[in-house]
Amino acid sequence: QKEVEQNSGPLSVPEGAIASLNCTYSDRVSQSFFWYRQYSGKSPELIMSIYSNGDKEDGRFTAQLNKASQYVSLLIRDSQPSDSATYLCAVLRGYGQNFVFGPGTRLSVLP
């Protein structure tokens, strides 16, 4: 089992819809979870972090964490074509200082 898994996509949604991106992880000790956005040909940029069970909202983005199910998700409301990118889920390893990334989900928002 891979440490961090994501659907590779592509996930296509119409403009204005809600995009839902999912991530599961295998290390039960992990406490810190991140969503990075990566535009084609660019480096990843952090858009959300979440450390506690429940929801965390920031503008159009909501991160959801369920540690019992080892599941993290990212919701993007009112999706825009500019949201079209690859979204990477990252997990800070249990007691370490290094991170493990999922393979990414490619999102396409259609005008």
Q: Give Dmax over CA atoms of the chain in angstroms.
A: 43
Q: How far is the CB of 39 from another protein (least distance, A)?
A: 12
Q: How far is the CB of 34 from another protein (least distance, A)?
A: 7
CA dihedral 75, 34, 56, 20 (to 10 degrees): 10
Report CA Rg, the chain.
13
Q: How far is the CB of 21 from another protein (least distance, A)?
A: 14
Contact set with another protein (CB under 8 A): 4, 8, 32, 34, 42-46, 49, 88, 90, 92, 97-104
In the numeric block, which tokens belong to residue 9?
A: 């996509």
Closer by beta carbon to another protein, 19 or else 23: 23
Closer by beta carbon to another protein, 8 or else 78: 8
Residue 52 has phi, psi (to 5 degrees) of -120, 155
